[in-house]
Amino acid sequence: MKLITAYIKPFKLHDVKKALDGMGVQGMSVTEVRGYGRQKGQSELYRGEEYEVAFLPKIRIEIATTNELAEKMIPAIIKGAQTGKVGDGKILVSDLENVYRIRTEESGIDALAEYI
């Protein structure tokens, strides 16, 4: 099992969700976060004064899935999130040791059954 964590630009969330919905993905967690990478933030103007915004708004998407589906989801996320500009984001893929569904106490792949 894999945990896919993607950091994308906020306005690309709809495109990524649409790409994943087309694959049959039925669940994900989405969190608004702030951060920076190579773009190193940006300058803003407030009341005539320029100041540096070091942390830019991003969206963090987390999806627990099978190994097989993860390999198909990554290109879909890239296609949905890509603008070709600095700050498009990152995708992190981690191994999941186990997953538990609290309601039924199922574990492993059975706990992900709704999402695959």
Residue 4 near residue 73, CB atoms below 8 Å: yes
Q: Does domain 2-115 have CATH number 3.40.50.700?
A: no
- The pLDDT of residue 116: 44
Greatest C-alpha distance within the chain: 58
- The pLDDT of residue 45: 61
When the pLDDT of each residue in the chain is averaged and rounded to a whole number, the result is 87
Cα separation, 77 vs 23, whole angstroms: 11
Q: Is the pLDDT of residue 11 over 90?
A: yes
Q: Is the pLDDT of residue 30 over 60?
A: yes
Q: Write out pLDDT tens, residues 66-116.
A: 998 999 999 999 999 999 988 899 999 999 999 999 999 999 988 886 544
Report the helix count and the strand count for the chain, using DSSP H and E.
3, 6
Q: Where are the beta strands (DSSP E) in 1-116?
A: 2-8, 29-35, 42-46, 49-53, 56-65, 89-95
How long a stretch of residues is the chain? 116
